Amino acid sequence: MAAPDSTLQPAAPLSAPPAARRFGWLGDRGLAALFISPALGLLLFLSVFPLLWALYLSFTDYSVTRDVPAQWIWFENYVDLLTSDQVHQRAVTTAVYVIGAVGLQTVLGFTIAYLISRRARGRGLMTTLFLTPMMLSPVVVGLFWKFMLDAQFGVVNSFLNTLGLGSVEWLTNQRLALLSVIVVDTWQWTPFIMLIALAGLTAVPRYLYEAAEIDRASEWFRFRRITLPLVWPLLLIAVLFRAIEAFRLFDLVYILTNGGPGVATETLSFHVYKTAFLGFDTGRASAYGILMVIVVIVMAQLYLRYLNRLQGR
Partner 1 sequence: MAVRVEDAVPVEATARSAAPPPGRRRSLRSVVEIVLLAVLLVVMLFPVVWMLETSLKEGRDVYAVPAKLLGFDVTFDHYKDVFVQRGGTGASDLAVSFQNSVLVAGLSTIIATVLGVPAAWAYSRFTLKAKRDQLFFILSTRFMPPVVVVIPIFLMYRDLSLIDTKLGLILIYSAFNLPFTIWMMKGFVDEVPSEYEDAAMLDGYSRFEAFHRFTLPLLVPGIAATAVFALIFSWNEFVFAVFLTSSEEARTAPPAIAGLIGGTTIDWGLVAASAMVFAVPVLLFAFLVRKHLVAGVTLGAVRR
Alpha-carbon gap, residue 56 to 52, rounded angstroms: 6
Among 73, 87, 91, 143, binds partner 1 (CB under 8 A): 143
Does 15 bind partner 1 (CB under 8 A)? Our answer is no
Does 100 bind partner 1 (CB under 8 A)? Our answer is no
Does 97 bind partner 1 (CB under 8 A)? Our answer is no
Least distance from C-beta 233 to partner 1, angstroms? Answer: 10
Least distance from C-beta 222 to partner 1, angstroms? Answer: 13
Does 282 bind partner 1 (CB under 8 A)? Our answer is yes
| CB atoms inside a 10 Å sphere around CB 238 | 23
Does 95 bind partner 1 (CB under 8 A)? Our answer is no
Does 307 bind partner 1 (CB under 8 A)? Our answer is yes
Least distance from C-beta 181 to partner 1, angstroms? Answer: 15
Does 276 bind partner 1 (CB under 8 A)? Our answer is yes
Question: CB under 8 Å to 293, separation ≥6 — which residues?
Answer: 51
Among 2, 35, 85, 175, binds partner 1 (CB under 8 A): 35
Does 77 bind partner 1 (CB under 8 A)? Our answer is no
DSSP assignment string, 87-152: HHHHHHHHHHHHHHHHHHHHHHHHHHHHHHHH-SSSHHHHHHHHTHHHHS-HHHHHHHHHHHT-TT
Q: What is the DSSP letter of 22?
A: T
Contact letters (x/-) for partner 1, 160-199, by CB under 8 A? -xx------------------------x--xxx--xx-xx
Among 10, 18, 164, 166, binds partner 1 (CB under 8 A): 18
Among 139, 165, 211, 228, binds partner 1 (CB under 8 A): 139
Least distance from C-beta 226 to partner 1, angstroms? Answer: 14
From the list 270, 272, 281, 288, the residue with the least C-alpha distance to 64 is 281
- CA distances in angstroms from 178 to 111, 144, 185, 192, listed in the order given: 24, 17, 11, 21
Does 38 bind partner 1 (CB under 8 A)? Our answer is yes
Question: CB under 8 Å to 56, separation ≥6 — which residues?
Answer: none
Contact letters (x/-) for partner 1, 205-224, by CB under 8 A? -x--xx--x-----------
Contact letters (x/-) for partner 1, 234-273, by CB under 8 A? x--xx--x--x--xx-xx--xx-------------xx-xx
Q: What is the DSSP letter of 48?
A: I
Does 50 bind partner 1 (CB under 8 A)? Our answer is yes
Does 24 bind partner 1 (CB under 8 A)? Our answer is yes
Among 79, 92, 95, 140, binds partner 1 (CB under 8 A): 140
Does 89 bind partner 1 (CB under 8 A)? Our answer is no
Among 6, 65, 83, 152, binds partner 1 (CB under 8 A): 152
Q: Is 217 exposed, middle or buried (0-12, 13-18, 19+ CB in 10 A)?
A: middle
- CA distances in angstroms from 48 to 61, 77, 80, 164, 178, listed in the order given: 22, 21, 25, 56, 33
- Which is nearer to partner 1, 5 or 33 (by Cβ)? 33
- Which is nearer to partner 1, 117 or 173 (by Cβ)? 117
Task: List, as own/partner pairs, every contact residues 260-263 make where C-beta atoms lie below 8 angstroms and the sequence separation is at least 24, other chains included.
Answer: 260/172, 260/177, 261/172, 261/173, 261/174, 261/177, 262/174, 263/86, 263/89, 263/90, 263/93
From the list 241, 83, 188, the residue with the least C-alpha distance to 91 is 83
